[in-house]
Amino acid sequence: MTSQNPDLSPEASSADQAAELAAEITTETTSSADRIDTDDADAANNADAANNAEAKEAKDADASKGSRTRQMLGMKGADYQETSIWKLRLQLMKPITWIPLIWGVVCGAASSGNYTWTIENVLISAACMLMAGPLLAGYTQTINDYYDREIDAINEPYRPIPSGAIPLKQVVAQIWILLAAGILVAAGLDLWAGHTFPTITLMAALGSFLSYIYSAPPLKLKQNGWLGNYALGSSYIALPWWAGHALFGDLNLTIVIITLVYSFAGLGIAVVNDFKSVEGDRQLGLQSLPVMFGVDKAALISATMIDVFQIAIALYLLAVGEKLLASLLVLLVIPQITFQDMYFLRNPLENDVKYQASAQPFLVIGMLVAGIAMGHAGV
């Protein structure tokens, strides 16, 4: 009689095979699911990487565009490398610096008390602004870059001259062309105004001479923080103001003195521009105020000059009976003091540009208020 093993029965064998098949199917399904999850994770990671790359590319493009804009305006931090010769020429002229001189012409026209809104007056004012801004301020900035090429090699090596992007011969040619064009426009303005004495031409020549001795040896006024910055302040406030006033009225001693006083506020503004080059100035022995007094004390001197001399102009306006406009000028000084405390006095090296962008609009509006008040008072 033969015994039968139940493990070897057909039914048991079929059951085992079915269990093994089910286990294999389960394992394969799990593996497939894991692969799908892994593929999904890889796809998600790739998508994130692509998005991050696109975001970085967009950010870099924005940064490049911003740097390019700063370069064209002649602003701090413009390390974008340009190759177009005309854009390089424009960068040398620093268009951002034209604005105060153009505004000075407006203030002078207002202080004359004779400006009227006619097409002819608008066009002749635009010609005066062209002279003061793009031509003569452009000349000033170009000649300054020419003589500052050693300092710029330390502080701003990406600028056209120290970077070698533009030959020195072309820079010299640009200096002479801008100077000649500015003097010619000034002579034309004198002719239009009917001046028997070439007042505006003389101012243009004086301003050009100041620009030269400010930048060039042996005088190089910028080596002295006080003289250099006052020369710069008067060139940006007094001279264009005189030109605008003389174009539509008679320039008198009172206007000359008041605007020279106002130029001490311009001295304070000029000091703000010295902080970006303090290291290069120190290495080359230039006695800017930040080098002479240290960064913090120079910032305090700058802020004090800006505020005190605007208040002095307001007191003068009060003395000649312009109470409302004198009060408005004082009110415009208050936000400047606020921004000085918020930005400039706390960290002048980091916040110089932010302070200028925040506070200077109030200063230039105050200049126009003063000009209108002088014209109204018949100063």
Q: SS in 3 state form for the chain?
A: CCCCCHHHCHHHHHHHHHHHHHHHHHHHHHHHHHHHHHHHHHHHHHHHHHHHHHHHHHHHHHHHHHHHHHHHHCCCCCCCCCCCHHHHHHHHHCHHHHHHHHHHHHHHHHHHCCCCCCHHHHHHHHHHHHHHHHHHHHHHHHHHHHHCHHHHHHHCCCCCCCCCCCCHHHHHHHHHHHHHHHHHHHHHHHHHHCCCCCHHHHHHHHHHHHHHHHHCCCCCHHHEHHHHHHHHHHHHCHHHHHHHHHHHCCCCHHHHHHHHHHHHHHHHHHHHCCHHHHHHHHHHCCECHHHHHCHHHHHHHHHHHHHHHHHHHHHHHHHCCCHHHHHHHHHHHHHHHHHHHHHHCCCHHHHHHHHHHHHHHHHHHHHHHHHHHHHHHCC
Distance separating alpha carbons of residues 250 and 7, to the nearest angstrom: 125
Query: In this structure, are residues 357 and 342 in contact, taking their beta carbons and an 8 Å threshold?
Result: no
5 pLDDT higher than 60? no
**Cα–chain-centroid distance for residue 378?**
35
Query: In this structure, are residues 208 and 182 in contact, taking their beta carbons and an 8 Å threshold?
Result: yes
Query: In this structure, are residues 93 and 137 in contact, taking their beta carbons and an 8 Å threshold?
Result: yes
Enter the pTM of the model: 0.81
Average pLDDT, the chain: 87
User: Bigger pLDDT: 286 or 244?
Assistant: 244
Q: What is the pLDDT at residue 73?
A: 57
362 pLDDT higher than 90? yes
What residue ranges do the domains of the chain occupy? 84-377
**Which range has highest mean pLDDT (31-35, 216-220, 252-256)?**
252-256
User: Bigger pLDDT: 58 or 219?
Assistant: 219
Low-confidence winner among 191-205, 272-286, 305-319, 351-365 (lowest mean pLDDT): 272-286
Query: In this structure, are residues 211 and 140 in contact, taking their beta carbons and an 8 Å threshold?
Result: yes
Region 17-40 average pLDDT = 54
Distance separating alpha carbons of residues 95 and 249, to the nearest angstrom: 28
Confidence label for 152 from pLDDT (cuts 50, 70 and 90): confident
Distance separating alpha carbons of residues 366 and 356, to the nearest angstrom: 15
Region 358-362 average pLDDT = 95
Write the CATH number of the domain with boundaries 84-377.
Answer: 1.10.600
Q: What is the pLDDT at residue 186?
A: 99
111 pLDDT higher than 50? yes
